[in-house]
Chains A and B, each alone.
Chain A
């Protein structure tokens, strides 16, 4: 627990970026579609990981900001007809604002309280959107969200998302290696000592909460035109659970964890739902096994193995 997050070597990042730029050229439309979803889900998983891996607080409510972001963008697109990029920014802004407001409730207390309050926030957001029929369309959601013609092809939208996601990853890395990010680790490892050394715990937690909200909202904003529609279901606990699953599966103590988690989750999702409708039970068992036997996730396990083999070689 008490280690500083090791960042993967930069050559791995170059490889990953190279692959994500040139890889899709060899793939068909279907797989480009899946790859786009991977990108969006990676952002969503990062949002969970900012709070869990870096701040040590478990959030079951990231869907609240994913959903408000998506709805914000969708409603800007259908009701105002503003330019596409403006709609996206508005969506992110609305998600961030909602995180700022609800953050006051969630960050007051740590641990179990935090987890519970994020559930409450997320389910309340779901009910508001679900019940506010005249404003949000209730359970019908909003359909027909088309990105501008330039971005309508699968490849175009993929590269558009890729640009945003890479920017987001760079910002993520910069912020979390800054003194602010290191203070978050300090809060994660020991709240009381953080208070003693003079870290403003609440303010740090609130800023991190809003930052996580921005990442979730960005994912939501990209997801809405990608699926061409938004539904209230995007705000409820199952959607939050996806972020939890991806974050934990990939490895919470690694920057690459959420990305790996998103890859595994999306491919599993595309693959498993092909032959069974009982996908949640599989998620449940995988999550249980990961927590029981490899709490560090896939990357944690790999790192352990790698280190052990290097030690035995010596």
Chain B
């Protein structure tokens, strides 16, 4: 029973990480209608950047927190540059060419990371406050896990606030339903796209930063979350934040609990759930029925 509770909690943490990363994909898909296959490359780049900044500021006890801010800023810049250089040209292309262009980025980033950081495994030492743990129903729950969990909840609330309580959010949602009309009202849609894209890269980056607290940084990171994140999108419904949140929790918890039974079937089980959802509700649990092709 204790073991189940522990796994349930670690499942929530994994779900939180999945949500942080996948919400970036949902944002860019929901607003711009583009699927960025290289999203997870940004996730990996952010993890490595966190390590680099952490090393630079190492003498300071709060080097991780400084590195977190520095990495976020760099990720936004990367997002802006990539959008200007590449994605901007792809918006009026057919869907498959958009996918292919972002697919090409996976190759480029995976090799760039190899050139810049080499093949060794890297790890970031956790700040003192995150090495402690709290007790939940008698079970120790490490603070670095709470950190990921809190970050996930914070991002979920942040996205909700941004989309439903600010003017920017209203414009973004309007863009989602009728792009041309928003442009006709004099709102600079291309600029809006740039901002949204940078936000989406930032979310991938925050996921990468969170990961450095959970495990090793290595070259396989860019497809370590791939299956689960794509399954989250399909289960929840593409472009729906609520769906992304629910999907992430389902995948995280199923993953953690199935490890108790048989570690090797964890990924397979998520795959099967996705299959069931696709068969019964092809548009996902919370997706809109109309946006299928």
Instruction: Give A contacts to B, CB under 8 Å.
Output: 1, 52, 56-58, 60, 104-105, 108-113, 115-117, 119-120, 123-124, 127-128, 131-132, 191-192, 236-237, 241, 244, 248, 278, 280-281, 283-285, 287-288, 291-292, 295
Contact = CB atoms under 8 A, between A and B. Distances in A.
B110 A280 contact: yes
B101 interface: yes
B223 A123 contact: yes
Contact of A112 (B95, B227, B268): B95
A53 B89 CA distance: 22
Given A110-B292, A292-B89, A117 B278 contact: yes
Contact of A120 (B107, B227, B279): B227
Contacts of B37: 60, 115, 119
A1 to B, nearest CB: 7
Contact of A291 (B97, B114, B226, B227): B97
Contacts of B293: 109-111, 191-192
A192 B293 CA distance: 9
B87 to A, nearest CB: 11
Given A58-B99, A248-B100, A123 B238 contact: no
Contacts of A192: 293
Contact of A288 (B101, B112, B115): B101
Contacts of A244: 100, 103
Given A117-B234, A241-B107, A112 B100 contact: no
B48 to A, nearest CB: 16
A241 B103 contact: yes
B38 to A, nearest CB: 10
B105 interface: yes
Given A1-B94, A237-B223, A287 B104 contact: yes
Contacts of A123: 223, 226-227
Contacts of B99: 58, 112, 115
A124 B96 contact: no
Interface string B245-273: 00000000000000000001001100100
Nearest to B96: A58
Nearest to B222: A237
B233 interface: yes
B31 interface: no
A6 to B, nearest CB: 19
A292 B97 CA distance: 9
Given A105-B274, A110-B293, A237-B223, A285 B108 contact: yes
Nearest to A124: B271
10 contacts: A105-B274, A109-B282, A115-B37, A116-B35, A124-B227, A127-B267, A191-B293, A280-B107, A280-B108, A280-B110
B231 interface: yes
Given A110-B292, A124-B227, A287 B100 contact: yes
A128 B268 CA distance: 8
Contacts of B278: 105, 108-109, 117
Given A56-B96, A104-B279, A124-B271, 4 more contacts: A108-B279, A120-B234, A127-B268, A287-B104
Nearest to A236: B223
Q: Specify which of A104, A105, A113, A127 lies most central, judged by the most chain B CB atoms within 10 Å of its CB.
A: A113
Contacts of A105: 274-275, 278-279
B91 interface: no
B35 A284 contact: no
Q: Specify which of A57, A248, A287 lies most central, judged by the most chain B CB atoms within 10 Å of its CB.
A: A287
A284 B107 contact: yes
Nearest to B284: A113
B70 interface: no
A124 B267 contact: yes
A105 B270 CA distance: 13
A109 B227 CA distance: 17
Contacts of A292: 89, 101
A113 B281 CA distance: 13
Nearest to A295: B97
A152 to B, nearest CB: 35
B86 interface: yes
A109 B292 contact: yes
Interface string B57-99: 0000000000000000000000000000010010001111101
Contact of B86 (A131, A132, A237, A288): A288
Nearest to B94: A1
Nearest to A277: B114
A124 B273 CA distance: 13
A288 B108 contact: yes
A119 B292 contact: no
Contacts of B100: 58, 244, 248, 287, 291
A163 to B, nearest CB: 33
B40 to A, nearest CB: 11
Contacts of A191: 293
B268 A119 contact: no
Nearest to B231: A120
Given A116-B35, A127-B268, A285 B104 contact: yes
Contacts of B234: 113, 116-117, 120
Contact of A287 (B29, B89, B103, B292): B103
A132 to B, nearest CB: 7
B209 to A, nearest CB: 24
Contacts of B231: 120
Given A108-B282, A281-B111, A291-B97, A116 B106 contact: no
